[in-house]
Amino acid sequence: MMKSLAITVWGMMALPGCGPENQTELKGLVKNLNLNQDQLANLEKLVDTFLPKTDTYGGVDLNIHHFLDKLIANCYPEDQQIEFIGGLIKLEQHAQESFGQRFSALAPQERERSLLMMNDESKPEEKSFFEFAKEQIILAYTSSEYFLTNFTNYEMIPGGYDGCVDVPQGTYKI
């Protein structure tokens, strides 16, 4: 619980700076995972596979892939970062073996099938990557300003203030 809270608070501070236009401002404050261009593209498509754009914004529209890059690099131990990068590599291998294409070049249905291959109990490392990626993507989305202001009863000030309210007659039970 505390770890999720800490990640959410850190994310709310860093998320506004996750857009590509703000990359130079954050160089000194946060680090990124050591991903090559193909892995970055795969991370973006991974987010798009879990949270595609529909009549609402998708994960890529909210820059969740940039957020995850920073979140995992700054909030998780190095061994977990290495496991995540290994999962991206394995995801690419599944795409190459099954479809003969890069994961980032696959159609959405093929990306989904390739990703679901990793949701296999008999392969614990792949299953762990699948569950971790899904959890982090959902955490990032549900922590976003877009989600909090459009899909929850978010109030900027907890409890709000109603200055002129009639007080009902009778006794109260507390």
pLDDT (mean) for 6-15: 62
Q: Is the confidence at residue 75, as pLDDT, over 80?
A: yes
pLDDT in tens, 42-57: 999 999 999 999 998 9
* CA atoms of 104 and 151, how far apart (whole Å): 30
- Percent of the chain exceeding pLDDT 70 equals 77
What's the whole-number average pLDDT of the chain?
Answer: 83
Q: How far apart are the first and last CA of the chain?
A: 30
Provide the whole-model pTM: 0.70
CB neighbour class for 86 (10 Å; exposed up to 12, middle 13-18, buried from 19): middle
pLDDT in tens, 144-156: 889 888 887 766 6
14 φ/ψ angles, rounded to the nearest 5 degrees = -90, -25
pLDDT in tens, 107-141: 999 999 988 888 888 888 989 999 999 999 999 99
Q: Is the confidence at residue 16, as pLDDT, over 60?
A: no
- Percent of the chain exceeding pLDDT 90 equals 41
pLDDT (mean) for 55-63: 91
* CA atoms of 31 and 33, how far apart (whole Å): 7
What pLDDT is recorded for position 9?
A: 65
pLDDT (mean) for 5-13: 62
